Structure 1
C-alpha cells in the first residue's frame, strides 16, 4: 500500500496520513518510490487556500512538489530511464513540450501542464507516478534529502538569478533570507560571485551570515515607523556603498516586503518576484512609472525553472557545495510543520522522510 498525506479540510492546516493502492505506470510513465519530500511555503498556502488567485483546493488533495526517489517500474515503451535511477519531481509535474510557452522555455506556464500537489497528486506520498521525460536525474553525489528541496527552492532561486543576468561583484538583496527559498538564494548568489545582503527577522542573522551573506538587516527594526521603508532603503544603500541593490530577490510571501522591495534597488536594478503573496492581489509598492523610468528599473516574476534550469541548478550545487539546511521529520508531522511555518520557527527547509 501507498501511504499518502492528504489535506483533510482545505482552508485549515489539517492533514492526515491515509493508505491507498499503488498505481501502475501508463505508457511513457514511471512509478517512483519516493524517499523524501521537501515542504514549501506554497504547500502551506495551497492547503490553507490563502491564494486568492487560485481555485479552492479539493478535500483529499495530496500535496507536495519537491520529491526525490527511485524508479521502481517502467511504463510500456519507456526507455529514457532504467530501474534504480534516482530522480526528482518538480513544481511542474508535466508539460506538453511543444506549445509556444514550452518552446520558449516557459514549461511551468504550459496550458496543458500539471502542477505537483495542486489538482494532481503530489510528492507527499511514498509512491508516485511521473512522466519519464519530465523527471530530473539526481546526481548520486548529492544528499538526496537535501536535493528534494532543490526541486523547487533551488531551481527557482537559481533561475531567478540567471534571468536577472547577475554579474560578479554585484549586490543582491534577498528578502526572507532565512527561509526555504531565501537560504538557498544566498548560496546560489554567492556561488555566482555576487555580494549578498540578507533581510529577515533578527533571530536568523547568524544563520544567514553563516551561509555567506556579506551583511544582514533585521527588517523588523524598520516596521513600526511611517517612513520605515525609506529608512530600510537607506540602510541597504549604506551597506552597498551607496549603490543600492542590482538585484532584489523577493523570496517572502509578505505583501509588506513587496511594498518595500522597489526602494532597495539601485540604478538599473531588477526586482524578481518569487514568493507568492498571500491574500488578495496588491500592487507592488513604490513601483510608479516615473521612478522606474528615472532609475531604469526592471521587474519580472517566475514560478520556477524548466528542465534545463533544473539540470544547471544541480550541477552548480554539486560543484559549489550548495547544501540545503533542513530538518528531517516523519511522514505524519505535516500539520505541525505548517503550524511552525505560521509561527516563523523554521530555518531553511523541512524535509519529510517517506522511507
Structure 2
C-alpha cells in the first residue's frame, strides 16, 4: 500500500528539515507581494505557507490558490491513474503546515516558538484582515475587525501571562472572544471544505469498487499541551476552537464525513504521565476526544506516532490505541519512522513482536 501526500500551498517540513518547498513560481510572486503569506501580530511573515486569505484571490497568474491546488491534484491523479486503487490506497490532502489542517501558530524552525508556548494567531496579512473586517461589519461591530486580540501574549507565553486566554471580561469567553475565535476557526474549516470538495470529486470514480478504492485522508495537528486548561490556548492559536466548554473537532468531523474522508492523528505512543506536569498536557485526553467525535460522525481514523519509540511501553501504547476496547480499530497506522536505531539489538527485539502483533490484528 502506498500513501501519497498532496501539498502545494505549504512548504513540507520533516522534523525541521525542509523537504518540499513551495513552487518557485509562487515564491517569485511572494517576493513581490508578501501578503500571500501568513503574518503575525508583529509583522513577521511566514513564507512557508500561503495564507487562507488568498484561497479565492486570482493572484497566481490569474488563478486563485484553490484553482492552482485543483490543477495540481488533477495532474497527479491523471499521471498515476493506473496505480489508483491498487498501489495507491490512501491520498492525504495537505491543508496546512506539515500537511496538517492548522495555522502555523507554532513555528519551531526559526526559533520563534518553543514548547510549551501557546503560539500566536496568524491573521495579520492584508487579505485575512480584510476578511475579518467584513465579518465584523456583518456582526454589527466594525471595530472588532481592526485587529486580532491584543492581549493574547506571544509565541512562548504561558496561559497565565495572556489575559485573552483567561476568564475575564476581555477573555476568550467574552462576546468579542467568541466572535474572533469563531471567525478564525471557520476560515480554516471553509478551506478544508473547499479543498476536500475538489479532491473528493476527482476521486469519486475510485470509490465505486470497495476492493480498489482510494481513501481520502486529512491530517490535523495534535496540540496536546495546555489541554487541561479551560481555554486550551495552544489549540486556539492553531485554529481549533476547542475549549473545556466547546468541542472544536465536531464540525471538522462533520465536514470529513460529508466528503467521505478519514482523519489522521498522531500521539498514539504518548502517555499523560510522560509529559511535563507544569504544561498541563493530555495527549490521551485529546486522543479520546477525537476518537469519540469520529465515532459520532462515522469517520475512519488513521494513526501515526509523534516521536520515535522503540521501548516496549511506547510500542504497546500504540497497539492499545489502535485497538481501543471502546472504539473501532484504526483503519491504518504509519510508523514514524524506521532508521538505524531500529536495528539495534534491544530495539529490534521489541519492534519485531510489535509489528507481528499489529499485522495480525489489523
* Between structures 1 and 2, the one with greater strand share: 1
Same fold (TM over 0.5): no
With structure 2 as the length reference, what TM-score do the two structures score? Answer: 0.26
**Higher helix proportion, which one?**
2
What is the TM-score of this pair, normalised by structure 1? 0.26
